[in-house]
Copies of this chain bind each other. A is one copy, B any other.
Amino acid sequence: MKSTDFIKKPLFTVDSVLFTVQDNVLKVLMVKRAEAPYRGAWGLPGGFIDIDLDQNTDMTARRKLAAKTGSAPNYLEQLQVFSGLERDPRGFSVTLAYYALVAYQAVASHIETVEMACWIPVSELTELAIAFDHLQIIELARQRLQQKTLYSMIPVFCLPQQFTIGQLMAVIEAIIEKPIQRKSLMRRIEASEIFEVSNEKTTSGGRFAQLYSLKPDANIINFERNLSV
């Protein structure tokens, strides 16, 4: 291995776009950068692989998320690699971006205790100083999440273990930013066969809503049709 290899190796990092839905608004976990470059700007939670700690890049993403949220996300999937000379002032860089989902309730209290980690509505990101190309990464993650919401049930991962259909519907509508038919959602819940019912629950004035939860061994399936756009 020549010494030039050292210089020419690109920086490799792992970043995650952690989504949740709170009050019918899609939000992203952002971290205020304490170091250069882009010191003081908001960036995605992430960092370098630690070969001693991480079996693979999934573990890196989980470790970095746990550091900020104190827990593991309900869903984690690779988004895309972003690379190039321009995206980091330190030189050629390669970032593996993940996107992830979590229930707001699961991390809300922990977030408050963490210095400079914050849920930011995706619609308000443009008002902030965002580090690197992270705004672009978030936008792609949002598109992927929207698309996947049209043909799968992944939005359940933005909810606590027990949830009502009304809550699931609200989360879906927050993600795709369009209303959907309650009836269509119920048909899919039945067809997917991955949910089970439990007790009852009441919310803001109205009939009791059935509580659902994911079956323990449930695999998220893909429907063969999209919901209408």
Contact = CB atoms under 8 A, between A and B. Distances in A.
Interface of A: 6, 8-10, 12, 49-52, 55-57, 78, 80-81, 83-85, 91-92, 94, 96, 224-226, 228-229
A91 B49 CA distance: 14
Contact of A85 (B6, B55, B96, B229): B55
Contacts of A91: 51
A8 B81 contact: no
28 contacts: A8-B50, A8-B52, A9-B9, A10-B12, A10-B49, A10-B51, A12-B12, A12-B94, A49-B83, A49-B92, A51-B85, A51-B91, A51-B92, A55-B84, A55-B85, A56-B83, A56-B84, A57-B83, A57-B94, A78-B81, A81-B81, A81-B96, A94-B96, A96-B96, A224-B228, A224-B229, A225-B225, A225-B226
Contacts of A226: 224-225
User: In the assembly, how many copies of this chain are there?
Assistant: 2
